[in-house]
Chain A
Amino acid sequence: TQLLEQSPQFLSIQEGENLTVYCNSSSVFSSLQWYRQEPGEGPVLLVTVVTGGEVKKLKRLTFQFGDARKDSSLHITAAQPGDTGLYLCAASSGTYKYIFGTGTRLKVLA
């Protein structure tokens, strides 16, 4: 069974601080995605990475796929209250069967 472990589970920080959340597995994946979910809504896709070592930036968010394609990180620079939410990683070793991590719940205090 493939597992995706996310850390930390919870994170509460002040506005303006930087943070990194991690998504780890012992399995190799062909693609990895990050989602953000707000209360009462479905997850929203932020980014997809497919190449080992790949780095993608989305404004203040930086995503990296590990060289061995087993892990990923999400770094947020100068966090804002609007970044508050549940961050989920998801990965697949094929095309359409994705498994999800347990999530990191982020709270950014003003």
Chain B
Amino acid sequence: NAGVTQTPKFQVLKTGQSMTLQCAQDMNHEYMSWYRQDPGMGLRLIHYSVGAGITDQGEVPNGYNVSRSTTEDFPLRLLSAAPSQTSVYFCASSPGLAGVSLWSFGPGTRLTVL
């Protein structure tokens, strides 16, 4: 199993550009989440999904869209990039267990917005 894969690994955007960060998992996990990690702020939850066709907002959803058309894929779309979105983005997946999630994280995408 490849686990959780993310592409691209690095990306530089100009303010106002849009792009999609890709995330895929091959473990048949029901739950998937997107986090951003900024220095001194830990990981903050952007959006999450509890199954295909079901998504919800996390702590910092503004400026980001998600969709989950398949169990495997959970792309994160930046609609109009801003310098405040410069960060490292992590995708994670978990089996749908009762009462607890066991998150497996991808290697991250380092995004710089100029």
Mark A residues whose CB is within 8 Å of B: 1, 4, 6, 30-31, 33, 40-45, 48, 50, 88, 90, 92, 95-103
Contact = CB atoms under 8 A, between A and B. Distances in A.
Contacts of B107: 40-42
Task: Identify the interface centre among A41, A43, A44: most chain B CB within 10 Å of its CB.
Answer: A43
A45 B101 CA distance: 11
Contact of A96 (B4, B31, B44): B31
A33 B97 CA distance: 15
A97 B102 contact: no
Contacts of A95: 97-101
Interface size class of B (residues with CB under 8 A): 20 to 34
Given A41-B107, A42-B92, A42-B107, A96 B43 contact: no
Contact of B45 (A33, A97, A103): A97
B93 to A, nearest CB: 11
A31 B103 CA distance: 13
Given A95-B98, A96-B94, A99-B59, A45 B43 contact: no
Interface in B38-59: 40-45, 48, 50, 56, 58-59
B9 to A, nearest CB: 9
A88 B37 CA distance: 12
A88 B102 CA distance: 14
Contacts of B35: 100
A42 B100 contact: no
